[in-house]
Structure 1
């Protein structure tokens, strides 16, 4: 019945798709980003132990505690290990 819907099986290409991660402008932005992250690192707490106890840095007047928030855009599908989809 899938064929009646116009669907057909095809071989899935292996490999990972990288969208311009080595472009010159991307590499330049990475330098700026990592420099800024290094500057802010002293204002970020560390988390230790199995309970992830938060240890806050000593901060001066006028400085604020910074919390790094990360979003991972990895996607995994149920047919990732299937050669034909």
Structure 2
């Protein structure tokens, strides 16, 4: 990580933090939530691209319910 240009003096991440991150990722992937998160992240990125770069349409044509469903992960709970 310290071989990247400009990162020679950067502190390495905590090994405890990395271990915690790894364990949470394993739980999410094993439970199937990894796929849900990936789907919602992809939908959010598509929404930002095709719905005015994350902004509401100034003429009121934005699908606010879709924005809220994706942003608040309503579909994942439903």
Task: Please confirm whether the aligned pair reaches a TM-score higher than 0.5, indicating the same fold.
Answer: no
RCO greater where, 1 or 2, for CA within 8 Å and sep 6 or more? Answer: 1
More helix by share: 2
TM-score by structure 2 length?
0.31
TM norm structure 1: 0.30
Of structures 1 and 2, the larger Rg is shown by 1
